[in-house]
Amino acid sequence: MIEQRLGCSIREFFEREGESRFRDIEASVIDELTQGPASIVSTGGGSVLRPENRERLHQRGRVFYLKSTPEEVYRRLRYDRNRPLLQVEDPLQRVRDLFEVRDPLYRETAHFIIETGRPSVATLVNMIVMQLEVGGDVPPTPPPPLSRP
């Protein structure tokens, strides 16, 4: 959504306009998307840096913090050249530094925290649905019908 609004990649925009201007646009998109209709919004890692984003996300929806260790995040992203903040000499240390700053902000924003590790997408989705069911946000999934011979 943000790249659509920018008309270019996030990396290009970062290089041309800088992080602060990017965060302005990110905040605007988060504000729009969280006003409804209900939807799933996957934010970028830095979206929690601004207090207004944390407040809007927390107040207007159910926020899941899919928590991974810095080492796991690095493993997933080490070949991704489209992440402007990781284009440094020591990207693993950068991920660790970002985690130290952002983890408390994610915790403040989240209604649910899920330790991700390396589950399949289906397992992760089931974990999220279970949390929503337990929290009363969605009706429980009915069990499958019993088979009769």
In the annotated binding site for ATP, the residues are 83
Tell me the C-alpha distance between 21 and 27, whole Å.
10
Tell me the C-alpha distance between 139 and 133, whole Å.
6
Is 95 within 8 Å of 86 (Cβ atoms)? yes
Which residues make up each annotated binding site?
A: 23, 45, 83, 102
Largest CA distance in the chain: 67
Which residues make up each annotated binding site for substrate?
A: 23, 45, 102
Calculate the CA 104 to chain-centre distance. 14
User: Measured on CA atoms in the order 125, 130, 136, 141, is the torsion positive or negative?
Assistant: positive
**Other beta carbons within 10 Å of 32:** 12
